[in-house]
């Protein structure tokens, strides 16, 4: 009887189908906790992390810079890039001065990614602007991630920046898409979102092909993070 009651009270499934994501890798959902500007401003890496970052030439998220020409009113996402690999903003809690118990595992994962992925892509949703719940936020991340990977495919690269034509040509650095308003993003037609991101990716390629110098390793003021 209890199970029948739960089924009766369960909300109906949405009628609108999502795009097919079968050919595009979907990472695990990002944590819901969002770091405040004050926490970002106060962030300092531990000595171990600072050495690891310097040795592997990995920057902190502060190195990301917004792409020009974005239409935030129509597409409430913010695309930032860096010509170097950067740590995920969500991992700053592991990288601070007080060493986290999981730091060894986290750094091992980054070391492996450094060997195999010249381009690091992040899609991270925020709920501050529209009070999106976790399901909406994570679903919007999946949709935007699928569009981003297809945009990279259209430019001739896979999701890790490697050329699809079998050549040694590759993109190096990081792309981060902040989904500022997940609810609004879910109302955008997928083809429209794809065309928009395809244009931004095309403009980003010259900045990610190794011709631009890498940004400073030293953490500075947090910029272009927010939704």
Segment 111-154, tens digit of pLDDT: 999 999 999 999 999 877 788 899 999 999 999 999 999 999 99
Q: CATH classification of 36-207, choosing from 1.10.1370.30, 3.90.1150.10, 3.40.50.11400, 3.30.230.10?
A: 3.30.230.10
> Which of 169-173, 193-197, 219-223 has the lowest average pLDDT?
219-223
Query: What does the pLDDT average to over 27-51?
Result: 65
Query: What does the pLDDT average to over 63-81?
Result: 95
| pLDDT score at 224 | 42
Query: What does the pLDDT average to over 168-175?
Result: 94
* Confidence band for 209, pLDDT divided at 50, 70 and 90: confident
Does the structure show a pLDDT above 90 at 203? yes
Can you give the three-state secondary structure of the chain, one letter per residue?
CHHHHHHHHCCCCCCCCCCCCCCCCCCCCCCCCCCCHHHHHHCCECHHHHHHHHHHCCECHHHCEECCCCCCCCCCEEEEEECCCECCHHHHHHHECCCCCCHHHHHHHHHHHHHHCCEEEEEEECCCCCCCCHHHHHHHHHHHHHHHHHHHHHCCECCCCEECCCCCCECCEEEEEEECCHHHHCCCCHHHHHHHHHHHHHHHHHHCCCCCCCCCCCCCCCCCCCC
| pLDDT score at 85 | 97
Mean pLDDT, all residues of the chain:
81
């Amino acid at each position: 009887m209890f199970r029948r009651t739960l089924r009766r009270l369960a909300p109906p499934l949405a009628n609108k189908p999502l795009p097919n994501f079968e050919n595009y890798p979907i990472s695990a959902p990002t944590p819901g906790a969002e770091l405040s500007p004050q926490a970002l401003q106060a962030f300092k890496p531990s000595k171990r992390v600072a050495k690891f970052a310097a040795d592997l030439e990995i920057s902190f998220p502060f190195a990301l810079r917004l792409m020009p020409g974005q239409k935030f009113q129509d597409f409430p996402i913010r695309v930032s890039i860096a010509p170097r690999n950067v740590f995920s903003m969500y991992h700053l809690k592991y990288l601070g001065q007080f060493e986290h118990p999981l730091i060894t595992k986290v750094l091992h994962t980054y070391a492996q990614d450094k060997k195999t992925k010249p381009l690091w892509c992040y899609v991270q949703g925020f709920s501050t602007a529209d009070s999106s719940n976790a399901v909406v936020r994570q679903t919007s991340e999946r949709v935007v991630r699928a569009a981003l990977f297809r945009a990279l495919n259209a430019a001739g690269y896979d999701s890790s920046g490697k050329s699809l034509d079998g050549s040694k040509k590759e993109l190096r650095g990081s792309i981060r898409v902040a989904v500022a308003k997940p609810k609004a993003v879910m109302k955008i037609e997928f083809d429209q979102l794809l065309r928009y991101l395809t244009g931004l990716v095309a403009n980003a390629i010259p900045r990610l092909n190794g011709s631009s110098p890498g940004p400073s390793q030293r953490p500075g003021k947090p910029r272009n993070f927010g939704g």
